[in-house]
Amino acid sequence: MNNGAPQLSLGIIGLGRMTEAIVQGVIAAGTMRPTDILATRRNTDELRRQAAELGIRTTPDNNVVAQECSVVLLGVKPYQLLDVTSALTALAPETILISVAAGIPTTAIEEAVEGEIPVVRAMPNTPALVGAGVTAICGGRYAKAEHLEVASQLLGATGTCLTVEEEWMDAITAISGSGPAYYFRFTEALAQAAISIGLDPELAQQLACETFVGAARLLEESGRSPEELRRQVTSPGGTTEAALGSFDENDLSGLVEKAVARALARGVEIGQQAAETE
């Protein structure tokens, strides 16, 4: 990764499921060695387990991470983020801060840490756990192209990484950040429907899950739009048309729009609440 540039070191403040997936990705991709990664976590028993599995280093002190690491990944909850960042007194000016907290704008993080620290806001999603995530990133006022490139290479180790304008981030959170849960919920509903018409629960779960996986793969590999693929499988007067008609009668599209709008509103609210408590 460095191509003659100084070797990067990665610090994790809050080594949870998502940040652990990122660590696994960068190690698997050869982007960093495990010994180049230093992590903290409140749950020290879990941190010891993770360190043993990943081969990374740990510390109980967030400021040790800030002092030693060229990139610091903030994995704490949104309501904790600004308190945690404001307590980082050992940050060097060129330390790159990457936050994966929903709803918290880069300006709030910049104000919390003070100084001209490059801040990158990121929104990954849980398929990162299997290397199939999609992450959107944007830079704060002090983040230059090279800082975004570092963030993109690190976060891209878990799937796709897209650089976007910050004004889109709350909307992206409502789509790809929360989106996997929408698919899981629909898979639950489809499996339950299968059980309701007499299928065995285990078979119902398998059919619902593998249908979604196969449909997603077809959509990705075919190069065709969802609408085109839907039309291809919908024979006039057939079973699929009957089911889709029920969706339309119950305004499935409207329901999804309302759900996404509510997720967006909540993301904005999280940012406002964090600003009010600062």
pLDDT mean over 201-218:
97
Q: pLDDT by residue (tens digit) across 124-156? A: 999 998 999 999 999 999 999 999 999 999 999
Q: pLDDT by residue (tens digit) across 41-72? A: 999 999 999 999 999 999 999 999 999 999 99
Multiple choice CATH, 10-173, 3.30.565.10, 3.30.70.260, 3.40.50.720, 3.40.50.2000: 3.40.50.720
Q: Is the pLDDT of residue 114 over 60?
A: yes
Q: Is the pLDDT of residue 225 over 70?
A: yes
What is 12-71 written as a DSSP string?
Answer: EES--HHHHHHHHHHHHTTSS-GGGEEEE-S-HHHHHHHHHHH--EE-S-HHHHHHH-SE
The domain locations on the chain are 10-173, 179-266
pLDDT of amino acid 6: 56
Q: How far apart are CA 248 and CA 250, in angstroms?
A: 5
> Which pairing describes strands 119-123 and 133-139: parallel, antiparallel, or unpaired?
antiparallel
Q: Is the pLDDT of residue 223 over 70?
A: yes
> Are 149 and 140 a contacting pair, CB within 8 Å?
no
Q: Is the pLDDT of residue 87 over 50?
A: yes
Q: Is the pLDDT of residue 276 over 80?
A: no
Q: Is the pLDDT of residue 188 over 50?
A: yes
CATH architecture entry for 179-266: Orthogonal Bundle (1.10)
pLDDT of amino acid 1: 44
Judge if 10-173 and 179-266 fold alike in CATH terms: no
Q: What are the residues facing 135 on neighbouring strands?
A: 161
Higher pLDDT, 273 or 186: 186
Amino acid (one-letter) located at 25: G
pLDDT of amino acid 7: 76
pLDDT band at 108 (very low <50, low <70, confident <90, very high): very high
What is 196-260 written as a DSSP string?
Answer: HTT--HHHHHHHHHHHHHHHHHHHHHH---HHHHHHHH--TTSHHHHHHHHHHHTTHHHHHHHHH
pLDDT mean over 157-165:
96
